[in-house]
């Protein structure tokens, strides 16, 4: 294995947007009077005629997120680099039609169950439930029409001085094979501390598995200039979950030391990704759940991961209440998608850090439970926090 990470000396800098000047129209300026804002525009219609909107959230520092009520998709997210230049740090498409046609979950809300359920089947209270098998013999990301493909009821809110988008959806009993009417609310907030905060809530009228997550593909270069192999990642984990050939956890919790999965200290993603390791071969790269060791009290967020693009200086922290994080290194992009601005997304052109409970938990009683019971309230919070670091 190569040395685990390249050492660079860095300074954490306060965001300097207000001090920067520039002529590029992608450069936005914060000023004393700038306030959080949210606007709504029509984005198009689905093949059945349902109209879809696009909401633009801005915070007081000029960060901007465009979010659709179709799939709760974060279509773009502009954050500053070390020179204050605002650029888009997520993969996606320019038009609604392209998302509807074929997307690998770019920027979407994933549910009812983020990740895989083996053989699309689980038992609850003695009854077997059969789900759609949309990933070989397994069920993935909520099925054929998961929460990434439904139109959510959207209500913008700036009453707290921050831009929030409240999304609600009622998933009917039996949808994609899951029991119970599930009432779901997801709130995206672009905070004035330069965070994209996502809170998830759900209630049900029958016991059912729930594991909601966000499927943003990050590329901190801005405008997806390069692949993400030079991004330096750290994951605050005690181990990872090895998988079988269908990417279903085997039930083992494997220690990280001495494996290419060790991101305890920041390491360029490309360092060990081609290491001769059966788990990397099965995932075509990283596509595994790390078991977080941030030991936070229930309901409080802990630091799960950090990500730095040394070239642009963009730095992201991921905080979550969840016990796990799926790090997916964009192994199935295969140059198949022509994304925003005509950029073709090759393998490893974006990476996902999906906070969640563990895959296949309904069939693995040793994993933390994902079963929501009537009367209980599901809630989960994840924060993607943006800043910059500068090389000396």
| Active centre residues (catalytic) | 215, 354
Closer of 239 and 324 to ligand GLA (Cβ):
324
Give how many residues touch ligand GLA by CB under 6 A: 10
Interacting residues of 264 by C-beta distance below 8 A, sequence separation 6+: 234, 235, 236, 237, 256
Verify binding: residue 382, ligand GLA, rule CB under 6 A.
no
Q: Taking CB under 6 A as the rule, which mask of x and - marks residues 354-373 in contact with ligand GLA?
A: x-------------------
Q: Which residue number, 81 or 354, has a Cβ lying nearer to ligand GLA?
A: 354
Q: Are 94 and 340 in contact (CB under 8 A)?
A: yes
213 binds ligand GLA (CB under 6 A): no
Nearer to ligand GLA by C-beta: 328 or 386? 328
Which residue's structure tokens are 């009812």? 112
Site string for ligand GLA, 273-292 (x = CB under 6 A): --------------x-----
Establish if 105 lies at the interface with ligand GLA (CB under 6 A). yes
Q: Smallest distance from the beta carbon of 284 to ligand GLA, in angstroms?
A: 9
**Spatial CA neighbour of 152 closest among 168, 134, 176, 136:** 168
**CB nearer to ligand GLA: pick between 227 and 287:** 287
Q: In angstroms, rounded to a whole number, what is the distance separating the alpha carbons of residues 381 and 355?
A: 9
Residue 115: CB minimum distance to ligand GLA, A:
6
Shortest gap between Cβ of 161 and ligand GLA (angstroms)? 34
Give least dist CB 185 to ligand GLA, A. Answer: 23
Burial class (CB in 10 A: 0-12, 13-18, 19+), 365: exposed
| Shortest separation between residue 328's beta carbon and ligand GLA, angstroms | 3
Q: Does 104 bind ligand GLA (CB under 6 A)?
A: yes
Task: Indicate the residue among 185 and 231 with the shorter CB distance to ligand GLA.
Answer: 231
Shortest Å, Cβ 339 to ligand GLA: 14
> Taking the complex as a whole, how short is the minimal distance between the CB of residue 93 and ligand GLA, in angstroms?
15
Whose Cβ is closer to ligand GLA: residue 334's or residue 391's? 334
What backbone torsions phi and psi does residue 291 show, to the nearest 5 degrees? -90, 115
Distance CA 298, CA 311 (A): 37
Q: What is the DSSP letter of 101?
A: H
Max CA pair span of the chain: 65
**Whole-angstrom distance, CA of residue 228 vs CA of residue 353:** 13
**What character string, x for contact with ligand GLA (CB under 6 A) and - otherwise, covers 127-156?**
-------------x----------------
Query: 281: helix, coil or strand?
Result: helix
- 25: tokens are 């129209």
Tell me how far CA of residue 177 lies from CA of 119, 142, 311, 363, in angstroms. Answer: 13, 9, 46, 16
Of 149, 25, 124, residue with least CA distance to 370: 124
62 or 104: CB nearest ligand GLA:
104
CB atoms inside a 10 Å sphere around CB 260: 20
Please tell me the distance from the alpha carbon of residue 328 to that of residue 214, in angstroms, as a whole number: 12
User: Can residue 191 be called a binding residue for ligand GLA (CB under 6 A)?
Assistant: no
Task: Kindly report the backbone phi and psi dihedral angles of residue 97, in degrees, each rounded to the nearest multiple of 5, phi listed first.
Answer: -55, -40
To ligand GLA, the closest distance from the beta carbon of 327 in angstroms equals: 9
Q: What is the x/- site pattern for ligand GLA, positions 236-255, by CB under 6 A?
A: -----------x--------
The answer to whether the beta carbons of residues 91 and 349 sit under 8 Å apart is yes
Please, which residue, 211 or 326, has the CB nearer to ligand GLA? 326
Residue 349 · residue 330 · CB < 8 Å:
yes
C-alpha 6: how far from its chain's center? 26
Q: Does 93 bind ligand GLA (CB under 6 A)?
A: no
Binding mask 321-340 for ligand GLA (x = CB under 6 A): -----x-x---x--------
* Position 352 contacts ligand GLA (CB under 6 A): yes
Structure tokens given for 238? 């005690």
Beta bridge partners of 371: 209
Query: Which residues would be at the binding site for ligand GLA (CB under 6 A)?
Result: 104-105, 140, 247, 287, 326, 328, 332, 352, 354
């Amino acid at each position: 294995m190569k040395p685990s990470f390249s050492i660079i000396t860095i300074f954490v800098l306060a965001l300097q947007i207000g001090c920067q000047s520039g002529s590029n129209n992608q450069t936005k300026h914060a000023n004393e009077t700038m306030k959080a804002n949210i606007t709504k525009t029509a984005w198009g219609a689905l093949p059945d005629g349902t109209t879809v909107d696009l909401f633009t959230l801005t915070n007081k520092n000029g960060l901007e997120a465009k979010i659709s009520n179709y799939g709760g998709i974060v279509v773009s997210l502009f954050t500053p680099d070390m020179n204050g230049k605002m650029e888009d740090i997520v993969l996606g498409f320019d038009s609604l039609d392209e998302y509807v046609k074929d997307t690998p979950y770019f920027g979407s809300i994933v549910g009812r169950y983020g990740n895989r359920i083996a053989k699309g089947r689980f038992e609850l209270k003695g009854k077997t439930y059969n789900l759609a098998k949309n990933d070989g013999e397994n069920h993935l990301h909520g099925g054929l029409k998961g929460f990434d493909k439904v139109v959510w009821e959207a209500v913008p809110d700036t009453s707290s001085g921050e831009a929030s988008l409240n999304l609600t959806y009622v998933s009917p009993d039996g949808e994609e094979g899951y029991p119970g009417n599930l009432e779901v609310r997801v709130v995206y907030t672009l905070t004035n501390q330069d965070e994209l905060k996502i809170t998830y809530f759900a209630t049900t009228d029958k016991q059912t598995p729930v594991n909601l997550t966000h499927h943003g593909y990050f590329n901190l270069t801005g405008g997806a200039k390069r692949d993400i192999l030079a991004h330096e990642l750290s994951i605050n984990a005690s181990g990872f979950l090895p998988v079988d050939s269908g990417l279903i956890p085997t039930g083992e919790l494997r220690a990280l030391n001495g494996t290419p999965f060790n991101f305890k200290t920041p390491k360029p993603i490309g360092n060990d990704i081609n290491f001769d390791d059966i788990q990397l071969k099965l995932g075509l790269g990283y596509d595994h759940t790390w078991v977080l060791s941030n030991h936070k009290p229930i309901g409080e967020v802990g630091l799960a991961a950090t990500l730095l693009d040394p070239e642009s200086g963009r730095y992201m922290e991921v905080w979550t209440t969840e016990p796990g994080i799926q790090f997916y290194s964009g192994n199935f992009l295969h140059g198949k998608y022509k994304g925003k601005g005509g950029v073709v997304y090759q393998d490893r052109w974006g990476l996902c850090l999906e906070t969640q409970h563990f895959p296949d938990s309904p069939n693995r009683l040793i994993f933390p439970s994902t079963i929501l019971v009537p009367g209980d309230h599901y809630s989960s919070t994840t924060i993607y926090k943006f800043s910059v670091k500068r090389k000396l």
